[in-house]
Chains A and B, each alone.
Chain A
Amino acid sequence: MSNFLTSSIGKKVIMSLSGLFLILFLCVHLSVNLLLLVSEEAFNAGCDFMALPFIKVIEPVLALGFIVHIIWASVLTIQNQKARPAKYAKRCQSQNCTWASRNMYILGALVLAFLALHIATVWYQFKFGEITSHYEFVSSFLKQPCFGVIYIIAAILLGLHITHGFWSAFQTIGFSNDIWRKRLECIAYFFAFVFAAGFSIIPLYFMIFGN
């Protein structure tokens, strides 16, 4: 494994694996979130479950996943910028690749900005605040249009990020060929849709029915 982590493919494999790990996390997160639409008890139970010690130990790993994904993305992006010192005067990239695939770093950065907001508000309160009902807290938080709208936009950005990120992760670890690529792209769009729709349906629900 000598020099693996410093090689271009090695670095991308790290992006790929950390990305897939984060998608896994998103699946769990979304499942718990969707309990908001079931009932107050269900969501609170979900929150209590997530607070159990054996789940808690995953938290630092999760944080590490985020940090690695972000740092490696930054390193790769800087290298990629350097690889073309003189830019083109005219480019028609829309002809040959998707917008999301070209703007993964920007999409990622926006999602990160949202993440900061999310940690500062909801996550911090969950962790250190004195909340009696998690359901109560979330519903009153998302009812506010400013937060609700931000959460919806973030969900869409995340979905876009995943349209490319998901299949790209498999391509990077070598799990793709001409047949599987089409399938992976379909699955990517499916996941992207589920995350974008799933995460935005909740603030939408509270904004509409919360009052």
Chain B
Amino acid sequence: MADKILKELTLKIWRQKDAKSQGGFKTYKVHNISTGTSFLEMLDILNEQLVEQNEEPVAFDHDCREGICGTCSLFVDGRAHGPDDDVTTCQLHMRRFEDGATITIEPWRCGAFPVIKDLIVDRKAYDKILQAGGYVSVNTGGVPDANAIPIANDKAEEAMDAAACIGCGACAATCKNSSAMLFVAAKVSQLALLPQGKIEAARRAKAMVAKMDELGFGNCTNTGACEMECPKSISISHIARLNREFLKAKLKD
């Protein structure tokens, strides 16, 4: 429980100037890191060190640093969001690492998420999939009273399980096929479970799957790696529901 000090860590970090440049690994060392420090704070320390040496700091995405915004990414030591379960990289703490360890840090690798700089990738593809239909088509105003349609507790809970998705991209990043199915399934499943979303469920499933395919994500082979690395533990049972919704929709076409 008490924090210890990691005397030295070796960091193998992917550096890439911009989208067009060739990248490569560079090795850095950091010293005296408390185990209570978060992984990103450790990178802050490295960056402060780099600025001191008049070198350009490592660019990485991060924002809320409490595991909810989905901005942080990073493939740490071969795993999306690093060697801990149910966390985002910002929630990963240095107590997961041994003194003297070498840590490999890479950006998400996925054709649909091109690298912008160093460890930052472009995840617009996920926005585009949701733009294709990841919503209920209602305008502001003129909606019925919130309690007009009761929703069974278990349905609401299951919808919430799916809705917990933070869109970080770990599913596609970790999938051996770079498939975005868990991400797509989370939204399709959430809205298909709720009466408000059911109305356009067919249209939604078709549009979102078509967009996902168009953007060059791979095909799901049900390895289940995505749910293991999902910081919100979203179950691949939602993928089954997506498949169901999609098949139902297509059979009616």
The answer to whether A and B touch in the complex, with CB atoms under 8 Å apart, is: yes
Q: List the one stretch of B44-52, B57-65, B196-204, B240-248 in contact with chain A.
A: B240-248
**How many residue-residue contacts, CB under 8 A, span A and B?**
151
Closest to B210 in A: A7
Q: List the one stretch of A31-39, A80-88, A109-117, A137-145 in contact with chain B.
A: A80-88
- Say yes or no: is B39 at the interface (Cβ < 8 Å to chain A): no
Q: Is the CB of B25 within 8 A of A97?
A: no
Distance A88 CA – B243 CA, assembled complex (angstroms):
29
Q: Is the CB of A174 within 8 A of B244?
A: yes
Q: Is the CB of B239 within 8 A of A171?
A: yes
Distance A72 CA – B175 CA, assembled complex (angstroms):
19
Interface of B is mostly: mixed
Q: What distance in Å separates the Cβ of A87 from its nearest Cβ neighbour in chain B?
A: 6
Q: What distance in Å separates the Cβ of B4 from its nearest Cβ neighbour in chain A?
A: 24
Q: What distance in Å separates the Cβ of B230 from its nearest Cβ neighbour in chain A?
A: 10
Distance A86 CA – B30 CA, assembled complex (angstroms):
28
Number of interface residues of A (CB under 8 A): 45
Residues of chain B within 8 A (CB-CB) of A91 are 78-79
Q: Is the CB of A8 within 8 A of B229?
A: no
Q: Is the CB of A174 within 8 A of B241?
A: yes
**Of the residues B104, B209, B221, B228, contact of A9 by C-beta under 8 Å:** B209
Residues 146-186 of B, flagged 1 when their CB comes within 8 A of A and 0 if not, give: 00000000000000000000000000001011110100000
Q: Is the CB of A90 within 8 A of B111?
A: no
Q: Is the CB of A96 within 8 A of B225?
A: yes
Closest to A88 in B: B109
Residues of chain A within 8 A (CB-CB) of B138 are none
Residues of chain A within 8 A (CB-CB) of B218 are 79-80, 82-84
- Say yes or no: is A93 at the interface (Cβ < 8 Å to chain B): yes
Q: Is the CB of B212 within 8 A of A84?
A: no
Closest to A105 in B: B221
Assuming A8-B212, A83-B112, A101-B223, is B243 touching A93 (CB within 8 A)?
no
**Of the residues A10, A89, A98, A172, contact of B223 by C-beta under 8 Å:** A98
Residues of chain A within 8 A (CB-CB) of B243 are 9, 12-13, 171-174
Distance A13 CA – B109 CA, assembled complex (angstroms):
27
Q: Is the CB of B240 within 8 A of A90?
A: no
Q: Is the CB of B225 within 8 A of A83?
A: no
Instruction: Give 27 A-B contacts (CB < 8 Å), ordered by A residue.
Output: A2-B253, A3-B210, A7-B210, A7-B250, A8-B181, A8-B217, A9-B209, A9-B242, A9-B247, A12-B220, A12-B243, A80-B221, A83-B110, A83-B112, A83-B178, A86-B115, A87-B109, A89-B14, A93-B225, A95-B79, A95-B83, A167-B222, A171-B243, A174-B240, A174-B247, A178-B237, A181-B237
List the interface of chain B (C-beta within 8 A of A).
12, 14, 25, 75, 77-79, 83, 104, 106, 109-112, 115, 174, 176-179, 181, 209-210, 212-213, 216-225, 228-229, 235-237, 239-247, 250-251, 253
Additional A-B contacts beyond A80-B177, A82-B218 (19; CB < 8 A):
A2-B250, A7-B210, A8-B219, A9-B243, A80-B178, A83-B111, A83-B177, A91-B79, A92-B79, A97-B176, A97-B224, A98-B223, A168-B221, A174-B243, A176-B237, A176-B240, A177-B237, A181-B236, A181-B237
